[in-house]
Structure 1
């Protein structure tokens, strides 16, 4: 399960991230600001967003409202020290699916995440993505241009899949690194650029030279 954790408390964030990855085997992206939580949630596929109420650059309630207004349908679990009935109502009315008051036991957090995942809020990813005469198939891990297969490495396939899922949106290099290589990786940003270069070369053989655009100082995006 893919989870986005938005928590600005360094110690708590490290603990939650560690437990989710090591104990449950979940894939976790961790951000510490509301603005980053909003951008990450819209740029990639997450089953659940764990959203702290009090964060810099956008509190959890504001981020939750903006995401729901934008059509975000993933499950959202709100974390907060605010424990009045009115606070809980405000959090749930903003679009959160569940509400957990700090301090809490990690086991309770894990149980609530399992419950949310069973409700299946997150949209189901399509097996295939079609872009003009190109077809990417997630089940077979193949990409075809007309009837000819484009031979890609696993990392190149994952990168193209991520870019195609988010056509028209700029994906920061840091997000790409987290989503494909993982939060704990020793891989550098230069590896992303090298992978993009190889992918472009292979796509170029099929007339797709301009599919992946570089956004200077930020990252990459895929255009239709």
Structure 2
């Protein structure tokens, strides 16, 4: 009997979880095991079949294919100067405190936000300790000076009294480039079906993405 396809979505409220849920709805007979991991070590040792990642560097034993450009948004409280805007440009974020304690050096999301900040002259505050998303949301809701950044596909939940605002970032739209990563010699039959399902998306035209994500991020599998 074929074992379940094990896929890492990083976080269950993040965009990759929604992408995988779409695959499950299209292929309800495919057994899935959903996990949340910090890095790709489990893909390399074979305990996980695939992971959704922004590919900065790719070890030779792994293959990857870009699957989705996720726009990022400003998340702020009702008293923030940008709360009433229908959209903002990346340059308009300059001078505003963007607090993101979950941005960890050495991770692909750390590399993404470092390049995003450098490209538009922004200051991203990754000051810790990190007490979790709820504390960030509490702080943002009460502050006229602190905001954060989230992906459009992130399921961010907050109490009604917080009255938080999700403000699109445009001109250019700034996207987080998700790729599916797997080990080259992985022959799980459901992995091929997942790769085929995820290949339907088109890259966002005219969007800003990091220099390391300008290519298709496609490395053909030899398996």
TM-score by length of 1: 0.27
Relative CO higher for 1 or 2, CA cutoff 8 Å, sep ≥ 6?
2
Name the structure where helix makes up a greater proportion of residues: 1
